[in-house]
Amino acid sequence: MNKQRKIYYRYLTRLSFYVCNIITVKKASANLGQTGSPRFAPASTQVAGEAGAVNLVLILLAVAGVVIFILLTQFPLQRQKEETLYPKPPSQAAQTQTGSGAPSGAHYNLNIIGVPKNKTADLTGSQGHRIFVPLEGNCKINLSEGDFQVLDANCTDGPSAFQLPNPDPDNDGITEYSVYARALGKPGGKSTTTTCATDPVTGEEWCSVYSMVLVREKGKSSFTNVSKVLLYVYADINGDGTLERYPLFDAALQDYLWNYDNNGLKLAQLRFYQVSTNVNQ
Ligand SMILES: [Ca+2]
Ligand SMILES: [Ca+2]
């Protein structure tokens, strides 16, 4: 029981005590009138009747007092408690997104920067969060399992390398993390990224039937969830007419990579968030 409520109950008890006291005093005075003046029987009956009426009024007042006290004390207390526990509705807090279309919160950022053919990529001042790709043409970003890290930032002189965690070790379609992407830079560019891997038995390379297509339109660019496209290979590997789904680093395939096909996109921005995505939907 909290302090405020204790005070209310103390006042309530005190009020009841006063009411009882008044009733007792009234009853006593009525009895006194009856015993002290036996000759005035009609008068004492009148006093007793008045005392009864006063008692009824006092009891009604006491009941009303109790009801008012309950209304005053209980409801403000409950409301205050709820406000303290939930400053924001939980559903609203969970769904909070930034204006960019990506979730809020900590994330790993990776910039894929398009470099014109006659320019060389400046690899100095690296913070390890970008990969240089040809502004026009194809490039392979080899993927390996581990903490988020750029292992080879230059994709203009051959394949580059990126490391990222296993997105769905049990392959139930619920990812361990999510990846969001958006196109930035001068309007007009476009890139297509496809996840591919090699069958260790036949040596055949399989590419997912889904690709991430980023187009730089004019104006504000928003993030979209590309987890299904960048973290899985969907292909009919056994030839039964149904697509198989393999998350990155599934043992059924090997040498996972992103095939980056650039058509003038200056900057593709990827963000990895510690939230899951259900790719079954
Ligand atoms: Ca999973
Ligand atoms: Ca199949």
Ligand of minimum distance to the alpha carbon of 277: 1
What pLDDT score was predicted for residue 36? Answer: 40
Pairwise CA distance, residues 68 & 98, whole Å: 47
Which ligand gives the minimal distance to the CA of 236? 2
Give the pLDDT mean for 82-89: 34
pLDDT at 80 (0 to 100): 38
User: For residue 244, how far is its CA from the centre of ligand 1 (angstroms)?
Assistant: 16
Query: What whole-number distance in Å separates Cα of residue 160 and Cα of residue 166?
Result: 19
Domain layout of the chain by residue ranges: 3-87, 107-273
pLDDT over 70 at 270, yes or no = yes
- Ligand index nearest the alpha carbon of residue 233: 2
Evaluate if residue 237 carries a pLDDT over 60. yes
Ligand nearest to the CA of 166: 1
Instruction: Give distance in angstroms: CA of 167 to centre of ligand 1.
Output: 7
Q: What distance in angstroms lies between residue 115's CA and the mean position of ligand 1's atoms?
A: 36
pLDDT for the residue 83: 34
How many A from CA of 130 to the centre of ligand 1? 27
With contact defined as beta carbons under 8 Å apart, do 244 and 234 qualify? yes
pLDDT above 90 as % of the chain: 57
Distance 88 CA to ligand 2 centre (A): 47
* Centre of ligand 1 from the C-alpha of residue 231, in Å: 12
Rounded to the nearest whole angstrom, what is the distance from the C-alpha of residue 234 to the centroid of ligand 2? 9
Instruction: Say which ligand is closest to the CA of 206.
Output: 2
Share of the chain above pLDDT 70, in %: 62
Is pTM, for the whole model, over 0.85? no
Distance 240 CA to ligand 2 centre (A): 5
Residue 66 binned pLDDT confidence (cut-offs 50, 70, 90): low
DSSP assignments along 72-111, one per residue: HHHHHHHHHHHHHH-SS-HHHHHT-B-TTSSBSS-EEEEE
State the distance from the centre of ligand 2 to the C-alpha of 113, rounded, in angstroms.
35
Non-local CB neighbours of 203 within 8 Å, separated by 6+ positions:
none
Q: How far does residue 245's CA lie from ligand 2's centre (Å)?
A: 9
Mean pLDDT within 265-273: 97
Measured in angstroms, how far is the CA atom of residue 98 from the centroid of ligand 2?
39
Q: Which ligand is nearest to the CA of 209?
A: 2
Q: What is the pLDDT of residue 159?
A: 95
Work out the mean pLDDT of the chain and round it to a whole number. Answer: 78
The closest alpha carbon to 162, from 185, 136, 133, belongs to: 133
Task: Give the mean model confidence (pLDDT) for residues 60-86.
Answer: 48
pLDDT in tens, 238-248: 999 999 999 99
137: amino acid identity, one letter: G
CA 180 to ligand 2 center in whole angstroms: 28
pLDDT at 268: 97
pLDDT for 57: 62
pLDDT digits (tens, 9 = 90+) for 179-195: 999 999 989 899 999 99
Amino acid found at 24: T
* DSSP bridge partners of 180: 225, 271
Give the pLDDT band of residue 157 (cuts 50, 70, 90). Answer: confident
pLDDT at 116 over 60: yes
Residue 41: band (very low, low, confident or very high) from pLDDT cuts 50, 70, 90: very low
Q: How does residue 229 score in pLDDT terms, banded at 50, 70 and 90?
A: very high
